[in-house]
């Protein structure tokens, strides 16, 4: 393998460090597109390419849970970057977020969709044979065995972590989904979607 090819090959496996998550939340949400989400559970190694994210930008963002103040649920968002914020929605679905920014800056990125590339059989089983495996925030958590038990998990650990990946995508933006109640920020283009490969 020539040196350039080797560099590209090894970059793929670089685990994103805490400093990656400490940056501007919109930048983190955008940069996560094309990265690989890893989940180790039941002795299995699951992985998928992140294809859709949303940024939630703290106390000034009325769609962000933390804008309602510091509570037991949102506590993790007020802590250090690079931790998982997992909450239950509609009584039955978990949603996975990555905490960003500094302590007392309660911002996070919601992981909305992945393209499964490893452990697909496990995901199919977890999704009870349904065809759609991980093209939504609730679905990807079910496919990867992520529940509130993983709330607060350190993303620099070995249960849930992200690597750079080897594919880069053009990124489109749209307003965020399901937050019409947030009159101030509902039109902000803070949803990021992978489109054509670069």
Partner DNA sequence: TATACGATCACCT
Partner DNA sequence: GGTGATCGTATAC
30 touches DNA (CB under 7 A): no
CB atoms inside a 10 Å sphere around CB 68: 11
Taking residues 158 to 197 in sequence order and writing x for each that binds DNA by CB under 7 A, - otherwise, the string is ------------------xxxx-x----------------
The span of 9-17, 31-39, 131-139, 155-163 binding DNA (CB under 7 A) equals: 131-139
HSE-CB of 87 using CA atoms within 13 angstroms: 19
Q: How many residues bind DNA (CB under 7 A)?
A: 38
Shortest separation between residue 82's beta carbon and DNA, angstroms: 16
Q: By CB under 7 A, which span of 38-46, 116-124, 132-140, 158-166 interacts with DNA? A: 132-140
According to DSSP, residue 145 is labeled: T
Cβ 72 to DNA, closest distance in Å?
A: 5
Residue count of the chain, please give it: 198
Cα–Cα separations (whole angstroms), residue 7 to 2, 12, 168, 169: 9, 9, 15, 19
Cα angle 100, 102, 104 (rounded to 5 degrees) comes to 105
For DNA, the closer CB: 64 or 153: 64
Q: Output the smallest distance, CB 113 to DNA, in A.
A: 8
Of 3, 43, 91, 197, the residue at the interface with DNA (CB under 7 A) is: 91
- Measure the CA–CA gap between 94 and 84, rounded to whole angstroms: 12
CA distance 183 to 39: 35
For the record, the structure tokens of 102 come out as 């500094």
- Secondary structure (3-state) at 2: coil
Instruction: Tell me if 65 contacts DNA by CB under 7 A.
Output: yes
- Which residues have a Cβ under 8 Å from the Cβ of 91 and sit 6 or more positions away? none
Q: Does 73 bind DNA (CB under 7 A)?
A: yes
Contacts with DNA by CB under 7 A lie at: 54, 56, 63-66, 68-69, 71-74, 85, 87-93, 95, 97, 108, 110, 127, 130, 132, 136-140, 148, 176-179, 181
């Amino acid at each position: 393998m020539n040196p350039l090819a080797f560099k590209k090959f090894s970059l793929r496996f670089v685990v994103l460090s805490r400093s990656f998550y400490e940056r501007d939340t919109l930048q983190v949400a955008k940069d996560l597109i094309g990265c690989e989400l890893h989940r180790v559970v039941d002795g299995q190694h699951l992985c998928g390419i992140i294809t859709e994210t949303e940024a939630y930008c703290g106390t000034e963002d009325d769609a962000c849970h933390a804008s309602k103040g510091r509570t037991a649920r949102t506590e993790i968002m007020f802590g250090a970057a690079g931790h998982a914020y997992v909450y239950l929605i509609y009584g039955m679905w978990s949603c996975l977020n990555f905490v960003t920014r500094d302590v007392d800056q309660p911002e996070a990125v919601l992981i909305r969709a992945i393209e499964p590339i490893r452990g697909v059989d496990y995901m199919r089983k977890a999704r009870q044979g349904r065809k759609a495996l991980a093209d939504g925030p609730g679905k990807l958590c079910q496919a990867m065995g992520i529940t509130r038990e993983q709330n607060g998990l350190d993303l620099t650990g070995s249960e849930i972590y992200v690597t750079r990946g080897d594919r880069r995508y053009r990124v489109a933006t749209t307003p965020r989904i399901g937050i019409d109640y947030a009159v101030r920020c509902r039109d902000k283009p803070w949803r990021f979607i992978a489109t054509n490969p670069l």
